[in-house]
Every structure is written in C-alpha cells, then in structure tokens.
Amino acid sequence: MADPTILWLRQDLRLHDQPALAAAASEGPVLPVYILDDVSPGRWAIGGAQLWWLHHSLASLGEALEARGSRLVLRRGEAAAELARLAAELGTRRIHAVPHHEPWWTDAEDRVARTHDLQLHDGNQLAPPRDVVNGGGTAYRIYSPFFQALQQHLPPHEPDPAPERLVPPAEWPAGDSLAEWSLLPTKPDWAAEFPALWAPGEAGASRSLDAFAGGVADYLDRRNLPSEEGTSRLSPHLHFGEISPATVYHRAVEAGDGAGSKFIKELAWRDFTQAQMAAHPAIGERHARFVFDRFPWRRSEEAADDFVAWTSGRTGYPIVDAGMRQLWRVGWIHNRVRMIVASFLVKHLLIDWRDGARWFWDTLVDADYGNNSVNWQWIAGSGFDSNQFVRIMAPLTQSTKFDAAGLYTPLGARACRPRRRNDPRSG
C-alpha cells in the first residue's frame, strides 16, 4: 500500500467540492486530521459561540467520513508542530490542504511548507485573492472595481461530488475524542437556544441552501427586514467551509437569481473581505486609514458602563437592545441590525470599533476575521472602502424604516445577563 497522505482540515469541513480531499484521495490512503490550534491565532483563538458550532460540525464530518470507510483524527496544539509529529508517525511528508488567508494560518502554512510537501488547493472563495488584483498586481481597496474584476473569473467551477469511498491508512494514529475538548458550554448553557435555529455540518448547510433557493427571488425585497426570513443564513456554513461558495453561487443562479444580482454581490463581498485580509493581515487590529489612529475614542474605564449596557442589550434603544439580546441567545443577528448596533457603539457611545469586533468574535457563530474586521471598519469610517464617520445609522429612524411594524424589537423584552460570555475552554 502507498504511504498515506495527510488531509489538513480547518475551515473547510466538507466532503463535497473539497479540492484538497479530492487530490489526497487520488493518491491513495488518506488521513483526515483536524487540529484545534489555540496557539497560532494568539488573541484571535476561536471564540465561544464558534466552539459550539465547531463541536457539532466535527461530529457531523466524522460520521460522514466513517460512512466512507475513513475517520477523522483530532489533535490539539500548535498546528505546524502537530502536523510534523503526525507525519513522522505515519512516515509521510505529503500534506494536502485548502489555503486560508487569516494571518495565523498563512504563517502556519509557511512553517509547514519549509519541512514538508504541502500541496494547497483553492476552494474557499469564488476566485483566489491572488487572481483578483488591479493593474499593478495589488489587491483592490474598493469593492465596486473588485466585483467588476471578479466577474472575469465567474462563473466558478462546477462543484465536484464527494468521494464514495476513501482508502484508510494501514494504521490509525492516536487522536483525541471530541468530548475531551469540552467545547460545549454547561454552566451556564448559554447555547440552549442555538439548536432551534442552527444545524451545523454539511447536511445542515445543504438544507439551508435548499430553503433559501426556494425564495431567492425575494431576496432583494426582504433582505433588509430583520423580522423576516429573507436572508440565506448560510454565513456560518460558509465560514466553517461546510459548503463551497461555488456550490452556493451555482444554486442561486439556477434558482433564478442573475449572476449580477444583489445576493451574488453579497457572496462576492465575502471574497472582497478575504482579499482585504490577505493583503492587510492586521486589518482586525489597525485602522486602514491611519488618520483614525488619532481619533479620540473614549477611554475604556470611562466607557465601561456603556459598553456593558451595549453588550447586554440595556441601552434603552429598542432595536439596538433587541439585536444584542438576540446575538446572545442564538449567536447571530441580521446584517441590517449588525450595522445598527455597530454604528451605535462607535458613533453614539464613541467606543473603539475594535472592542465591538472582539465582542462579535466571541458571540457570533459566523465570526470571520476578514468579514468581521472589514465590516466594523466600514461602519467606523476607518476602512479603505467605508462609510463616512459622520453618516450615522440613527437607531430610531432605522427602527421605523426596517422594524416591520414592531415585529423585531419585541425580542428586546427578553432577559439577557450583563456579563461577557466566557470561552468554554477557560471555564
């Protein structure tokens, strides 16, 4: 039997249209591995709400692999070091993976590639960031020309099917059990309402896409109404790679949505934020417009009470409070409400956008370093492509315009503990 190759999984937890899996399977025995790396990301280690999702996504992927004669090996530690140990145990140097553009992942890929045969296969964007650049070969800073350039690479490839069977290695290395990682919250169980809204995993992603495709023609009219089911709710599935952007693109177009439609442009926005993140790795830490380095944000101690009121949905503004309480309860809020609550924090309370971005990182099931950072900088006015700071999303006006006759703000009547959700790993 040929030496096994390693399939290094991260935010690409699927079997369908998974190019790294297809490449590894074509060579013989495959060892799929997921490494929970709390070291490489530093302060951007995966947040609490994402850990809930990750637990269920890994469980789903493990079952799907077992149905194909394989299994998912779980390891915990610094990714490059764990991969080196695993490769030594197997007697192999070849590793297949989908590239990721978060700065900690590109650094990890560089470390792995120095000592191993790392093969990277694009598949988590409509087009790789390196292909959508301006005439000077650099990343676009403004979305409109980016989308025009991206269209030259559309449509993306037709999605590939999942392999029916996978050849396992002759011997399986040791790994952790998912239960050992204790990713699920217990005391308190702040995720008690999550299962009513979410079904993590590839099958759940497919069902969400089916549900959305049936109403995609109404997206333009309903997408701004937080009280209605007008959005796709595919964002956490896309973040964890449980479904490929190419799959979503083709299904939306087949359902009657044009290639230049608003939904496709929103899907392309995800590519744009990935490209921004790849070109500017510190996008979550530093202002894109350096003039904001001198902006007089309120000091943390001065704004502490207001920040707690914002996080716990006790500002007194109904649509802001409804959004922040919904975020706590189900790990997600509508994009329109995200903009409203972010504008309120930054422009009414004068609290640094990075404090809000960190809160979202811990409480959103779809928290994405690129998307989260670029969107917050858009609201603050500090991004390359951003709203002007003086343009305020007044919460009372926004509520009148988008609250759909008070059907959304009653969510704010439900209680919310005024405390930060702890990462389940730290108790």
Q: Choosing from 269, 302, 332, 378, which is the catalytic residue?
A: 269
Number of Cα atoms under 13 Å in the Cβ half of residue 76 = 11
Ramachandran category for residue 313: left, alpha or beta (phi over 0 → left; psi -120 to 50 → alpha) = left
Residue from 266, 285, 302, 372 carrying the catalytic annotation: 266
Q: Beta 5-9 vs 94-97: how paired, if at all?
A: parallel
Which single residue is written with the structure tokens 């959004």? 323
Residue 297 appears among annotated catalytic residues: yes
- Please choose, from the candidates 32, 49, 51, 111, the residue with its C-alpha nearest in 3D space to the C-alpha of residue 78: 111
Write out the two tokens for 205: 């992603």
Angle ∠(66,6,273) on CA atoms, nearest 5: 95
The one catalytic residue in 310, 353, 359, 361 is 353
Catalytic-residue membership of 266: yes
Asked if 62 and 55 touch (Cβ cutoff 8 Å), the reply is no
**From 78, 181, 335, 387, active-site residue:** 335
Mapping DSSP onto H, E and C, the string for the chain reads CCCCEEEEECCCCCCCCCHHHHHHHCCCCEEEEEEECCCCCHHHCCCHHHHHHHHHHHHHHHHHHHCCCCCCEEEECCHHHHHHHHHHHHCCCEEEECCCCCHHHHHHHHHHHHHCEEEECCCCCCCCHHHCECCCCCECCCHHHHHHHHHHHCCCCCCCCCCCCCCCCCCCCCCCCHHHHCCCCCCCCCCCCHHHHCCCCHHHHHHHHHHHHCCHHHHHHHCCCCCCCCCCCCHHHHHCCCCCHHHHHHHHHHCCCCCCCHHHHHHHHHHHHHHHHHHCCCCCCCCCCHHHHHCCCCCHHHHHHHHHHHHCCCCCCHHHHHHHHHHHHHCCCCHHHHHHHHHHHHHHCCCCHHHHHHHHHHHCCCCCHHHHHHHHHHHHCCCCCCCCCCCCCCHHHHHHHHCCCCCCHHHHHCCCCCCCCCCHHHC
- The residues annotated with a catalytic role in the active site are 266, 269, 297, 335, 353, 376
